Amino acid sequence: MFPEYRELISKLKSQDGHFARLFDKHNDIDQKIKNIETGIESAAEEEIENLKKEKLRLKDELYAILKKFSG
């Protein structure tokens, strides 16, 4: 996710608790979606849809923070 911001992401993850929590939550949701899609976990279609929406919302928020700090 956002390879062009790799260095900034590393910096923010270690210096900004809010960013680190958002980043970790995004990755957790991404892994859960992958587990569901590969059959490791099961979930209703509505739950999968909600997870995907939350993942996108988090990604948008992370991108906004990255844009702000890349100034």
CA distance 34 to 71: 33
Task: Return the structure tokens found at 4.
Answer: 């062009």
What is the model's pLDDT at position 55?
98
What is the model's pLDDT at position 42?
95
Task: Return the structure tokens found at 2.
Answer: 């956002």
What is the model's pLDDT at position 62?
98
Instruction: Name the residue ranges covered by the structural domains of the chain.
Output: 8-70
The answer to whether residues 3 and 64 touch, using CB atoms and an 8 Å cutoff, is no
Q: Supply angle C-alpha 31, 25, 56, rounded to 5.
A: 80
Which residue stretches of the chain have pLDDT < 50?
Answer: none
What is the model's pLDDT at position 71?
78
